[in-house]
Chains A and B, each alone.
Chain A
C-alpha cells in the first residue's frame, strides 16, 4: 500500500526504504542501540566534566569570559575535524574512543555555558537570605542555587544531548557503528538502505528530543513554566542575551 502510494507520486525510493526497514528490523535496531549507547556514554562524560565546573564558576561569579566563550568556540569546531584529529593525530584509532572524544568535545560547551549562566544569574535575594541563615558556600550552591538553576541547566543538557545524538551519526559514518555506518555504505546496503537508515536517524533524534522536552517540563517548577515555553535549542547566551549585552 505504502509502496503503491509512493509509486503514484513517482517516489519509489520512499517505498523501497520502508521495505528495507521492514526487512531488516534487527540490523537497524542494533545500530540504533549502538548509537544510543555511544551518545549516552558521551553525554555522561560531558555532564561529569562540564556541570561541576560551570556551576562552581557560576557560584563564584568568576570566569564569565571563559564559560561563555567555550560555547562559541565549541560551535565553531567541526566534528569531522575532531574525529580526524582523534584518528590520525592523536592515534586513538577508528572506533569508540575517537567517537567518544568527538562527542564529548561537542557536549561540554552547551552544558558548561548553561550551568554557568544559570547559577550566575540566580536571584540574589534568596542567596542573601541563605547567607543570613548561616549557610556555607557549598550549602548555598547545592540547596539554593542549583535547584533554582535546574531548568536552565537541564536546557543545556538537552541541547548537548540533541547535538550528541545527531552527531553520533557522523561519528559512526567515519568510525564505524551506529546508523551512520549504514548511511555512508551504499555499496553494501543499497540506496533503499541508505534512505531507510536516514529515516531511522531522523526519527531517533526527534524521539530523543521529544522525551527530553517532556523531562524538561517535568523538571521546571510550576511557577516558572510558561516563561521557558519555547524549547531552547541554543544556549541563552549567543543569541538574544548576547545581543542585549552588546
Chain B
C-alpha cells in the first residue's frame, strides 16, 4: 500500500484547483468586465442590495424623526434652536468615530450603523421640513383661515403639501449623503458596497474598486432622479404654475 502511494505521487502531483483563472484578473488589468459578469450574482448584487437597504432604513427612520421634531418645533417655537443645534453637533462628529462610540451600546451590528446614518440625516431633513412648514405665503394662510379651516386642517391640507418641495430637496441631499456615508459602515459590518471597496484595497484589485465605487455613485444619482420624479408627481400644481 505504502509503496503504491509513493510510486503514484511523482506521476500525479497534486495541484490545488483554484478554478478557472481569468488572465485579465491575474494580470492586474485596470478593469475586467468578465469578472463583473462572473461575480455579479454572488458578490456585487448582494452588496448593492445591502447598500440600498442600509440607506432606505436610515433615511426612512431619519425622516420620521425629523418630521416629528419639525412638527413639534412648529407648534412650540422655542424648541427649534435646541433641536437644530443638537442635529448640527451630531452631524459634526465624524462617521467612523460615531460608529465606534455606539459599538459599546449596540455592538458590531446593523443597528449601530443605522442609528449613526439616521442621525446624520436629521440636520438636513429637520431644517428643510421646518423651513418648508413655516414659509407658507401669508395670503394662502389667510385664504385657508377664511375658508374656515382649523389649525390641524391647515397643517395637513395646506402647509404640508406646500412644504413638499422643501422636504423633497432635503430628502435628496439626505439620500445622496447617506449612500456615500454607508460605505464607511464597512468598518463595522461586512456589508454594502463599502465592504467591496475595502476588499479591493486589501487585495489591490482595481476592478472591484471601480465596480463598487461606480455603483455607489450611480445609485446616488438614480435615487436623486427618482426623488425629483416623486416631487413632480406629488406637486402637480407647480408644473402648471411654471407653464402659466
Whether chain B is bound by chain A comes out as: yes
Contact, CB under 8 Å: B91 / A233: yes
CB neighbours (8 Å) of A184 from chain B are: 96, 187
30 contacts between A and B (CB under 8 A): A11-B104, A75-B173, A75-B176, A75-B177, A76-B179, A76-B180, A76-B221, A76-B224, A78-B181, A79-B180, A81-B197, A81-B217, A165-B94, A166-B92, A170-B184, A173-B187, A184-B96, A195-B104, A197-B100, A198-B101, A199-B101, A205-B92, A209-B92, A231-B88, A234-B173, A238-B173, A239-B128, A240-B166, A243-B166, A246-B169
**Which residues of chain B have a CB within 8 Å of any CB of chain A?**
30, 84, 88-89, 91-98, 100-101, 103-104, 123-124, 127-128, 131-132, 165-166, 168-170, 172-173, 176-177, 179-181, 183-184, 186-187, 193-194, 197-198, 200-201, 204-206, 209-210, 212-213, 216-217, 220-221, 224, 231, 238
Closest to A35 in B: B94
- From A11, A79, A180, A206, B92 is in contact (CB under 8 Å) with A206
Q: Which secondary structure dominates where chain A touches chain B?
A: helix
Q: Using A239-B124, A243-B166 as known contacts, list a sample of 15 further A-B pairs with CB atoms less than 8 Å apart, ordered by residue number in A.
A: A75-B173, A77-B217, A78-B197, A81-B216, A84-B197, A88-B209, A166-B94, A166-B95, A183-B97, A195-B100, A198-B100, A230-B127, A234-B173, A246-B169, A246-B231
Looking at the assembled complex, report how far the CB atom of B57 sits from the nearest CB atom of chain A, in whole angstroms.
Answer: 18
- From B98, B198, B224, A72 is in contact (CB under 8 Å) with B224
Contact, CB under 8 Å: A75 / B96: no
Contact, CB under 8 Å: A78 / B180: yes
Report the Cα distance A14→B101, complex, angstroms.
9
| A-B CB pair tally, cutoff 8 Å | 163
Contact, CB under 8 Å: A183 / B224: no
CB neighbours (8 Å) of B201 from chain A are: 83-84, 87-88, 174
Looking at the assembled complex, report how far the CB atom of B97 sits from the nearest CB atom of chain A, in whole angstroms.
Answer: 4
With contact pairs A83-B201, A238-B173 given, residues A169 and B209 touching in the complex (Cβ less than 8 Å) = no
Report the Cα distance A82→B212, complex, angstroms.
11
With contact pairs A84-B209, A173-B187 given, residues A198 and B96 touching in the complex (Cβ less than 8 Å) = yes
Report the Cα distance A191→B210, complex, angstroms.
33
CB neighbours (8 Å) of A84 from chain B are: 197-198, 200-201, 209, 213
Looking at the assembled complex, report how far the CB atom of A6 sits from the nearest CB atom of chain B, in whole angstroms.
Answer: 10
With contact pairs A78-B183, A79-B180, A238-B173 given, residues A206 and B165 touching in the complex (Cβ less than 8 Å) = no
